[in-house]
Structure 1
Amino acid sequence: MSRVGLIERFPALPWVVSYRTIAALDADLVDCRACPRLVAWREQVAHEKRAAFADQTYWGRPVPGFGPDDARVVILGLAPAAHGGNRTGRMFTGDQSGDVLFRALYDTGLASQPTVVSADDGTELYGVRMTAPVHCAPPQNKPTVAERDRCARWLDAELELLMPTLRSVVVLGAFGWQAGLRAFADLGWEVGRPRPKFAHGARTVIRRDHRELTVFASYHVSQHNTFTGRLTPDMLVEVLTAAAENAGLAR
């Protein structure tokens, strides 16, 4: 769609047409200071650090999405972890939740290696981009509704830039499910009423302009879910495999 066409489609969402590339979007995103509570927390954590990472320099800024800008699958989570993405500068890395996710991506043929430790370790994602409704680490991993809504501009713009190639969306957790469906509705996708309910293994098809996207749900890769067995590696691989197959990504 032309830039004029985008402006006509999204008159109430001017940020959606503000960027021509993912790189330009990410360059602005990492300088965002819109949420005072999140700014204070991410910077406090980056200063105080965890003892195990005392010799490392924390990122301490909003964490951009990670993955190619022509992805066919988007993985949508919650927010960066205080000592994970807030430390490494890469979404869903640097903690045990990220370890579970990247192992599953590797086993599904969507990542170049099973373990990710830093933003410069050479990891590649194949046809997949990872992002979140909230780009700063929140206290207790609980962003407020107002923080989610303030950060929505970045998700809206990122999803629209990915639309030419996007075929599947994998949502980790109920927070991401609600935020993701809301974003797609704002972008003109027919999401359905009432909104589809979150459950592990759930999926829904949304439509816009004769196009379809399939949205897949998984429990979040939080330590609570993985340590208790509520989410097993096989369960996560099953969802990722279904999303990859739907998007035409061969293993």
Structure 2
Amino acid sequence: MQLNDTAAIVSGGASGLGAATALALAEQGAAVYAIDLPGSIEQAPQVPGVAYLAADVTDEEQVRSAVATASEGAPLRTVVNCAGIGPSARILGRKGVHDLALYAKIVQINLVGSFTVLALASEAIAATEPDENGQRGVIVNTASIAAYDGQIGQVAYASSKGGIVGMTLPAARDLAQYGIRVCTIAPGIVNTPMLATVSEEFRAGLAAGVPFPQRLCEPSEYAKLVTMIVDHDYLNGETIRMDGALRMAPR
């Protein structure tokens, strides 16, 4: 599927994986609408072809409004879900049982938020005219290798990302009749702003655990895989691990 002269939505598009993806899609000719929280948008870089829309992925009406704005011009063809959070906590820790509200919040943002964007955007994509091959669009969700190898303290995060992996195939099957593909990327350890606060020694230790290439993944590599999925019309219903063959240890 071609990106030129189409519209794209990237949730969490103001930083990290989302910002890199928004840039990559814009460079290929898409009019990109980056959805994020107002505070994140204030710090986002100005990128030609990228417009920022303030919206909380857990708020249905805000997402509906963002999708409507993104659908006003060129046909909406691409949606990438990058919005998410990753606090850690053990089921039983020094301060007692895992905060149940925190567990629900992580699942609400990472999993329910991704589904909300997917569902409302797919409604808009389904209303567009298909291309000569019957295609209308592609949706790419973001899981994590924690969906498979969740570490100690990642029970909520791993649950949310496991849910994204689990919904990939049925979502692809649900939306096949509309010419919409659905895929998921499960990244390993990515050099995002979340890692900016840790020491170089700690980052080097993380990189040393990756079989090959023995380094952290860059957000641009995630973005490159997104564009490859968009371009590859036969990729559908698949979760792709992008982790340098890393399998996470318990801690």
Which TM-score tier does this pair reach, normalised by the shorter chain? 0.3 to 0.5
Normalising by structure 2, report the TM-score.
0.37
If each structure's strand is expressed as a fraction of its own residues, which one has the higher value? 2
Normalising by structure 1, report the TM-score.
0.37
